[in-house]
Chain A
Amino acid sequence: MVREELVEKWEKEKPHVEDALWDEAPGYDLIPEVDLEIFNSFFLDGTHSCPPLSPLGLELVWARGCTHGLKYVNTYFNFPRCYGWEGRAKDGGIYWAFIIERDEEKIKEREKGFMEALMPFIRDFDGIWEKNKAYITKEQERMKTFLPERPKNWDYLHYHWALEKFIIQTHWELHFLGMQSSYSGWILLEEECKKRFGITDKSTEFQDMLRGFDNEVYRIDKEMWLLAKEAVDAGLGEVFKEKSAKEIIAALEETQKGKDWKKKFEEFLERRGWRTIGFDLYDLSWREDPTIPLGKIKTLVMTGEAEKKEFSLDKIRSELERRREDAVKRMLERVPEPDREWFSSLIRLAQKASSYSEEHDLFFEMTFFAIAGWGYRKIGEWLAKNGCIDRPEDIFMLNGREIENAIMCPFKSDFRWIARRRRKKWEYLKERFAREGEFRPPVYTKRASIEEAVAEDLLPSMDPICIKIVVGELPEVKPQEIGADIMGICGCPGEAEGYARVITDYTQLKDLRPGEILVCPQTGPEWTVAFGIAAAVITDRGGTLSHAAIIGREYNVPTVVNTFVGTSKIKTGQRIKVKADIGAIYILDKE
């Protein structure tokens, strides 16, 4: 049946008046009765839409933006089996279907273009990345100063359009170019190692080759460590220890040393504070909510990290660098001479997957969302002032077309009823998520089972990102005899035993004590500080290329990812043992 007929049929059978109002992503709303006829299966993106996203974040960033970025990059590289992804929004979640080519003749035809497009990235990944970085930095500065002193209505509208292009095009296109090319290298290296030596990417020999890299995120962490150190040296340690992050600023104003430190901190925020914490436009950046970096600094003071002579990551890294060089050398010795040259290039490309994956979050998502979120708040202030919405942040309850529609005559465009309705639903979804965990179906499918959906509609795409991170690694079949209570995937090898600390929100990280084992849903850059403290890290989601695994390897902390049930099965204070090499977790004192 053609799409038109399907929609007609759906409308006739189910006149969803309510759903029609909950239309934050027009054209991208998931309508199973229609969409499944065409794509068979849609998979929930657990990495990016837990907890549920705000309507504008879901519509602009994910449904329109990310969908475009994936179609762009798969078309750009001519991926033989996948033209891109189709995104659909439902209940604050983004669901993906893969646009798969199944005709072997066409797949073969696409290969030549694929190789040609990929080669420049294999040859000079860093060169391309530096050029793109310069471009996005320029665009980011332009967006920060886009509005004139006294903006007219159309200035706001032009700003809105510029922000849409900024997110959908500049951000997502460049984001995926680096990602798909370097991840392809990782996957090939894994395949070659598996085929030749029986080594998977969960093994130490493999992971040692790909860690020990500095990047912008760590440099920022180090700046914060230095700030924490200066605070302690200036005798401000007690302020950080006793006051909550919210109270610290006021307390600093009371002394000259406090004022001096605060000045340095503000200077740091202006340079480094354009970053959000999650994947939603609604999230505040560090500049807007300094309690986030202050909380991190507080953690560094509380844990005694600030009193160390050396930034712990520097020390670990120099050791890891040495191990990396050894591991690469050993691997190349095993590779026969004629293959050595390209194999060594392949290792270099796969190493990019590790470092790019970590750095790109900062340069792309976090910075772009901080700038766009800040920009939309400005537009929101103006809409609220004109009575179009109740308060500035209600702009995140509207979609791009509604904002466009409202801007020119905001005083005559009443969008309060839509914003209120959507906010109510969003608050409900978030609250339910916090209470129950994931309540949305992981897959909408026409297939008989999830296995079949994965086998027919996901894996045949061979899309590197889909396989490596978004849906999480496919869990391996585990032998029963390990006898573990919980199984996951090795993110960083090693063993540890200690008390569990279950943390579901990074702002609670200050509770983490040295030697404890951090158990969390998944980590992002805001969590990095925890890796310097925890004896081991366990996450519910992710694969060998997800944040926790990469950072775990950089900090050399035993890490198990993709346990699915870590946070719900383990309780804070329980004694647990982690054998990361085999992805096993043992609860030692079961109730």
Chain B
Amino acid sequence: MEKKFVLWFEEGGKELVNVIGKKCANLCEMTKLGLRVPPGFVISIEAYRKFIEEKKVLEKMQEYIQTLGEIKEKGIGIFEEMSQVLRRMIEEAEMPSYLEEQISSYYETLCKKVGVSELGVSVRSAGVESRPGMFETYLNVKGKEEVIEKVKKVWASAYTPRAIAFRVNKGLPVLGDELGVAVVKMVNAKAAGVCFTVEPIKGDSSKILIEANWGLGEGVVSGGEAVDRYVVDKSSLEIIEKVPGNKTKCVVRGERGTKWQEVPPEKQKVLCLADEEVREIAQLGILLEKHFGVPQDVEWAIDLDLPFPQNVFLLQTRPAKVMERRSPEEEIAKRISTLHRRITIDKARLKEIEFKF
């Protein structure tokens, strides 16, 4: 039998992190727990490896890197240039036919399941390590050709200037961050946002923080808009704080892809979640925190048409990153210490100086 490079969410689990990437593994895990996750499938990291090896992409990338020599000495401009060359190598190569067939067939099955042809899906990146915001995600992708194209684009996003710079600065190989891909049915979202099961600035773990905007979750995570803010007490599920934002814009689906849209004035300062929805999201957050053993940063969406509670969907979960807040004295001590570490003496310059003690 032909090797399987694609899995339904129901077939995976968190133990497959190294096979399909973190985000994919978590989506599978949530599905297995019986939580409401939109239907979808994942593409293994191995698929990417087959692609770059069989289509000689890897070879070309290695050759190119060798021509560059020592990258660290070249200044920031080099990352931009490398990114353009490397991404094009990936995006322009053809996918091996057996891979293309597997992905297409899963997509078609998904369309049938849902009962919509040309179903809108999101194509999401999944590294083995969680690096929020580092790689690309494509929303409202329609049709199998476009799905295939976007899968390659996700793979290529391991070579954004930012991602290359990150690896070079960390002393990691330039060629790295092989990605898994999740293909998820788009939720027809009325509202969406994030839920932290720990207050991310002060690190207070007795509270849950929910941020919400109309439309898709990207209207919250992009961080530009003043969104609604809800604080829920973790033990009593009481909503302690409800602060409506000034939501002038939100992200919605277009014909293909997504777009920013003006929020009608009468909806801008109105809370976009009902209390029962807030509590439902909080409860799901608590459940995920218990299951994964650490505070979670959850992405969710509320479906426009379904009745409560079937309308609350989970799109992603990952360990919540609590801002590392050093006290001022820790910060200063740390910096003084770094200063001692990074001493550099420019001997050439010392030669120009006349010393007289």
Contacts and interface: CB of A to CB of B under 8 A. Distances in A.
Interface string A190-211: 0110000000000000000000
A328 B335 CA distance: 20
Interface in A453-491: 454-455, 459-460, 462, 471-472, 474-477
Contacts of A44: 357
A374 interface: no
Contacts of B343: 81, 459-460, 462
A187 interface: yes
A443 to B, nearest CB: 7
Contact of B355 (A116, A344, A442, A460): A442
Contacts of A72: none
B345 A460 contact: yes
A115 B355 contact: no
Contacts of B332: 122, 185, 188, 342, 345-346, 349
A341 interface: yes
Interface in B92-139: none
Interface stretch (B30-38, B62-70, B323-331): B323-331
Contact of B339 (A108, A191, A472, A564): A191
Contacts of A364: none
- Please report whether the interface of chain B is mostly helix, strand, loop or mixed according to DSSP: helix
Interface in B328-350: 328-337, 339-341, 343, 345, 347, 349-350
Contacts of B341: 80, 107-108, 111
B352 interface: yes
Contacts of B330: 115, 119
Contacts of A107: 340-341
B253 to A, nearest CB: 35
Contacts of A443: 357
Contacts of B352: 477
Contacts of A342: 326, 328-329, 331-332
A346 B334 CA distance: 12
B337 A114 contact: yes
A442 B353 contact: no
A186 to B, nearest CB: 11
Contacts of B355: 442, 450-451, 454, 474-475
Given A119-B329, A122-B328, A342-B331, A184 B336 contact: yes
Contacts of A185: 332, 336
Nearest to A116: B333
A122 B333 contact: yes
Contact of B350 (A81, A451, A471): A451
B333 A119 contact: yes
A542 B180 CA distance: 62
12 contacts: A107-B341, A108-B341, A115-B330, A115-B336, A188-B339, A344-B328, A345-B332, A346-B328, A442-B356, A442-B357, A452-B347, A471-B357
Listed from nearest, the 6 A-B pairs whose CB atoms lie closest are A442-B357, A342-B328, A342-B331, A345-B328, A115-B333, A122-B329
